[in-house]
């Protein structure tokens, strides 16, 4: 099974190609979940057996004595890859020049706390951490991780990652090679808004692996100032990616069939004054996908075409609404966006990966509109039949 993913938010950290240590921050480092991860990180299970590590342990001030104990335990283990362990309660120190961020820290539900208050508190925590990534981490660190790619590779798929950022893409491939073995993943640098380059990326994928079975069109930007670019990336590239996927998978062309997932957004179901063009592109992705699913069914293409609509996911895209260079005059509505985040919550990437895998594996789904939200998890939008 071969999968091509266009502009996935894949890189959660950058792997150094040299023997220099990489800096890894773990938030909520005094908690049980983080504690269970630290030893695996320090002994090379996460970033490779040849990659030295500097661990930055970040937690709130009352937990500093606990962190000191964690530091002593790790140092007593004399792990050869562990160059240093630095406990801190200061966000700017914890995220300074990090190559990787593992965001575990969150607020547990307290007795008597309503769910909306819990969501509000944790949205604030992850927003602060996301802002710290943008401000203090190395620029090679990206937002949500490799959950979808990991799920595919764990299912014995071979994956081509297509992205504009060549540095991050190569670093992502190196880490995936270390985890899953060489030959299962390839990286193809490409601007998906360039039709010729995108066509070449599809052909390069087929040339390397011999076939194509799954296409995930996930390229997306949020730029209301350069709104033409937003249309090119968010909608036009999805249309081109779908047509190219059909060329390589449709039985109409003598191929064996396959699956296409186009990624939209819950923004398509909301009125979003802060991002009108982004919203329009996501509406367009749903309409195009449903129409193409019908075309595939009537034309007997053998290709299932579905659309996935996640709510807020903690990525750099989520924080771009505060940047006037991205939002232009609509930046004045950023507080409305923040209120929506508080209301709907922020998703974890593992749930997005679960939704993608369901769309891939369930052969009964064609033209499905999958929604993923904090309140309802994975569910499907239903449309009333049109009456005369």
Taking the C-alpha atoms of residue 335 and residue 48, their distance in angstroms, rounded to an integer, is 41
Which of helix, strand or coil describes residue 188? strand
Residues 6+ apart with CB under 8 A from 229: 193, 221, 223
Residues 6+ apart with CB under 8 A from 80: none
Q: What angle do helix axes 32-42 and 64-76 make, rounded to 10 degrees?
A: 30
For 367, phi and psi rounded to 5 degrees?
Answer: 80, 15
Residues 6+ apart with CB under 8 A from 168: 10, 11, 14, 140, 142
278 is annotated as an active-site residue: yes
Which of helix, strand or coil describes residue 163? strand
Taking the C-alpha atoms of residue 376 and residue 313, their distance in angstroms, rounded to an integer, is 15
Taking the C-alpha atoms of residue 154 and residue 338, their distance in angstroms, rounded to an integer, is 36
- The sign of the dihedral angle between the CA atoms of 221, 226, 231, 236 is negative
* Catalytic option among 39, 243, 253, 278: 278
Taking the C-alpha atoms of residue 324 and residue 222, their distance in angstroms, rounded to an integer, is 11
Q: How does DSSP classify residue 366?
A: S
Taking the C-alpha atoms of residue 265 and residue 372, their distance in angstroms, rounded to an integer, is 9
- The sign of the dihedral angle between the CA atoms of 46, 48, 49, 55 is negative
Which residues carry out catalysis? Answer: 278
């Amino acid at each position: 099974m071969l999968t091509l993913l266009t502009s996935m938010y894949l890189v959660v950290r950058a792997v150094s190609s040299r023997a220099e240590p990489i800096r890894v921050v773990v938030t909520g480092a005094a908690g049980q979940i983080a504690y269970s991860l630290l030893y695996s990180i320090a002994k090379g299970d996460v970033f490779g057996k040849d990659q030295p590590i500097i661990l930055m342990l970040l937690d709130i001030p009352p937990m500093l004595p606990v962190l000191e104990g964690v530091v002593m335990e790790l140092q007593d283990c004399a792990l050869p890859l562990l160059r240093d362990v630095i406990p801190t309660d200061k966000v700017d120190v914890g995220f300074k020049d990090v190559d990787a961020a593992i965001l575990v820290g969150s607020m547990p539900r307290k007795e008597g706390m309503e769910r909306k208050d819990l969501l509000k508190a944790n949205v604030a925590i992850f927003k602060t951490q996301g802002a710290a990534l943008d401000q203090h981490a190395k620029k090679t660190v990206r937002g949500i991780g490799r959950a979808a790619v990991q799920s595919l590779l764990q299912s014995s798929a071979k994956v081509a990652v297509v992205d504009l950022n060549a540095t991050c893409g190569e670093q992502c491939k190196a880490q995936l090679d270390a985890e899953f073995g060489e030959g299962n993943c390839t990286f193809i640098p490409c601007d998906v808004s360039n039709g010729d380059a995108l066509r070449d990326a599809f052909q390069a994928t087929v040339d390397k692996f011999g076939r194509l079975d799954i296409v995930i069109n996930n390229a997306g930007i949020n730029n209301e100032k350069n709104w033409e670019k937003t249309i090119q990336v968010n909608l036009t590239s999805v249309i081109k990616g779908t047509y190219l996927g059909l060329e390589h998978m449709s039985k109409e062309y003598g191929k064996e069939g396959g699956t296409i997932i186009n990624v939209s957004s819950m923004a398509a179901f909301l009125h979003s004054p802060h991002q009108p063009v982004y919203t329009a592109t996501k509406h367009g992705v749903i309409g195009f996908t449903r129409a193409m699913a019908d075309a595939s069914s009537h034309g007997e293409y053998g290709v299932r075409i579905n659309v996935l609509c996640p709510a807020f996911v903690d990525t750099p895209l989520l924080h771009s609404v505060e940047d006037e260079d991205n939002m232009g005059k609509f930046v004045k509505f950023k507080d409305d966006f923040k209120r929506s985040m508080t209301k709907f919550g922020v998703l974890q990437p593992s749930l997005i990966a679960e939704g993608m895998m369901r769309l891939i594996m369930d052969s009964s789904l064609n033209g499905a509109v999958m929604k993923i939200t904090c309140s309802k998890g994975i569910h499907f939008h239903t449309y009333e039949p049109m009456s005369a």
